[in-house]
Amino acid sequence: MSTPGTPAPVRTRIAPSPTGDPHVGTAYAALFNLAFARKHGGEFILRIEDTDRTRYVEGSEEQVFDTLRWLGFSWDQGPDVGGPAAPYRQSERLPTYREVAERLLADGHAYLCWCSSERLTQMRTRQQQLKMPTGYDRMCYGKTREERAELPGFTETPVIRMLVPDDARISFDDLIRGSITPPQPDDQVILKADGFPTYHLAVVVDDNAMGVTHVIRGEEWISSTAKHLLLYGWLGWTAPAYAHMPLLRNVDRSKISKRKNPAARLKWFQEEGYLPQALVNFLALMGYSMPDGREIFTFEEMTESFDFARVNPVGPVFDIDKLNWLNGHYLRTLDDEAFLAAAGPFLPAGLSPQDVRSLVVPLRERTKKLSELAEQLDWLAAETVTVAPADLAKHGLPAPDARTVLEAFAKNLEQLDPFEKDQITATLDRVVAESGLNRRRSFMTARLALVGKPVSPPLDDTMVALGAQRTAARLRQAAASLDG
């Protein structure tokens, strides 16, 4: 407890729902909540919002922990680390919500509603047909159970609804957007027939119980904030400050959803081979700008400069080209060992990091995301490769010359001991000079023979990776396969 006059320590939180693969928005919210809390020496809480039992997916809570940890995020309180406000899963806090809902009933701020879902659907359809605002029509308000039971569309188990005054236009000062007045809320359900709270009740009860001082969440929750502020007022609790982050958007400016964009799934970034530090930098850039305008910065640097005035309220477009550029940058900052370790899971089947060690420099230079390695290195994992005549015609030498140079390369290279980069380069240069053939086309011919395509790491590195025997075998095999 803080002493009067001392400002409460900053405490932020995220409250993801365990409804499947974690959404990229969860990492985005975590990043900004964490940066703000750390900037002020405060705490960051992870709470699991599992009150919607119909959308619950087994195992998704662990996926949230794992992906957030992968990003380097940690939390001071949460279901897995405990804390003074435990439990941190809403399904374990049910008695608290019921108690608060009953208090609101007793104080006249809420009422019981026995309307069946069929009746509510009919009501909504009628309102839409008549172009009226949709919202609960208060059929149950002021009625006893017996009175209501006489009327159609009655169910046995009631829900509890907020009684929202007709003039409840509530304004608040958003830390990113300034003054906002969301639309008038309707009589929102706060406790469902199954005894679980709705989001609106649970979020207010928990943010209060956990001493959350700043709620930083997506802009889609702005209209809910009006309901939350009503509840705070009725319960006599101090409301937190609010900051509504811009929504991440697709290039067509629609909201990023798992249905439309694979990048909505946090795991997609792992699968594609993005580094966590690149994703953190990218998410930070989606809405945050550094005082000096630079685009490459770390979480710590963002935290140091953090200020809501630097958050742009306009929905940032999810620009994968920018992410690829950032990831390429972060890959190039890795030393050889770190790059090989990161590359390991993305190598074609049968290859180990050791097998590509000789290629680490060109790979690191050219790779934007690690999933590209499968295609970049398919030739190394393959038993054999074939030379397409069209490729040879376009990039290489005519068949008789190609055969000559491939055989000369093979003969000279297999005599090399040791089979190392410098000796290989010297041998290639000497053989081409002696042959009098076009240098670029000669090397291209060898490249096609070794990798089967016109793009590869430098020829000498490619040969070291293949080893003397496979290099000579591929050169000879290609020579033998040429017509004419």
List the Cα angle 77/312/29 in 5-degree steps: 20
Count the residues of the shown chain that bind ligand GLU, applying the rule CB under 6 A.
7
The answer to whether 297 contacts ligand GLU (rule: CB under 6 A) is no
The answer to whether 203 contacts ligand GLU (rule: CB under 6 A) is yes
> Of 143, 192, 258, 453, which is the active-site residue?
258
The answer to whether 246 contacts ligand GLU (rule: CB under 6 A) is no
**Rg (the chain; Cα; Å):** 32
CB of 242 to ligand GLU, least distance (A): 10
C-alpha span between 450 and 420 (Å, rounded): 17
C-alpha span between 164 and 281 (Å, rounded): 42
Segment contacting ligand GLU (CB under 6 A): 9-17, 102-110, 113-121, 253-261?
9-17
Question: In the complex with ligand GLU, which residue's Cβ is closer, 202 or 450?
Answer: 202
The answer to whether 15 contacts ligand GLU (rule: CB under 6 A) is yes
C-alpha span between 165 and 109 (Å, rounded): 9
The 22-51 contact track toward ligand GLU, x by CB under 6 A, reads ---------------------------x--
C-alpha span between 250 and 26 (Å, rounded): 17
CB of 389 to ligand GLU, least distance (A): 57
Question: In the complex with ligand GLU, which residue's Cβ is closer, 229 or 370?
Answer: 229
Residue 483: CB atoms within 10 A of its CB come to 5
The answer to whether 204 contacts ligand GLU (rule: CB under 6 A) is no
For residue 257, what is the DSSP state?
A: -
The answer to whether 17 contacts ligand GLU (rule: CB under 6 A) is yes
Among 10, 16, 100, 163, binds ligand GLU (CB under 6 A): 16
Tell me the two tokens of residue 20: 């499947």
Question: In the complex with ligand GLU, which residue's Cβ is closer, 203 or 479?
Answer: 203
The answer to whether 12 contacts ligand GLU (rule: CB under 6 A) is no
Torsion of the alpha carbons at 296, 273, 217 and 259, rounded to the nearest 10: 130
Is 453 an annotated catalytic residue?
no
C-alpha span between 326 and 336 (Å, rounded): 19
The answer to whether 201 contacts ligand GLU (rule: CB under 6 A) is no
Segment contacting ligand GLU (CB under 6 A): 13-21, 112-120, 132-140, 291-299?
13-21
DSSP readout, 3-64?
PTTSPPPPEEEE----SSSPBHHHHHHHHHHHHHHHHTT-EEEE-B----GGG--TTHHHHH
Question: In the complex with ligand GLU, which residue's Cβ is closer, 229 or 347?
Answer: 229
Question: How do 241-245 and 214-218 pair as beta strands?
Answer: parallel
Residues 115, 153 contacting (CB under 8 angstroms): yes
The answer to whether 221 contacts ligand GLU (rule: CB under 6 A) is yes
Nearest to 283 by CA among 309, 263, 260: 263
Nearest to 392 by CA among 273, 324, 286, 482: 482
The 49-78 contact track toward ligand GLU, x by CB under 6 A, reads x-----------------------------
Question: In the complex with ligand GLU, which residue's Cβ is closer, 215 or 446?
Answer: 215
CB of 203 to ligand GLU, least distance (A): 5
Tell me the two tokens of residue 266: 């946090």
For residue 151, what is the DSSP state?
A: S
In the bound state, the residue with its beta carbon closest to ligand GLU is: 217
CB of 49 to ligand GLU, least distance (A): 4
> Alpha helices of 221-356 — where are they, by DSSP H?
222-235, 266-272, 276-285, 299-305, 320-332, 336-343
Question: In the complex with ligand GLU, which residue's Cβ is closer, 89 or 329?
Answer: 89
The 314-353 contact track toward ligand GLU, x by CB under 6 A, reads ----------------------------------------
Among 38, 109, 161, 217, binds ligand GLU (CB under 6 A): 217
Catalytic residue positions, numbered? 258
- Positions touching ligand GLU (CB under 6 A) are 15-17, 49, 203, 217, 221
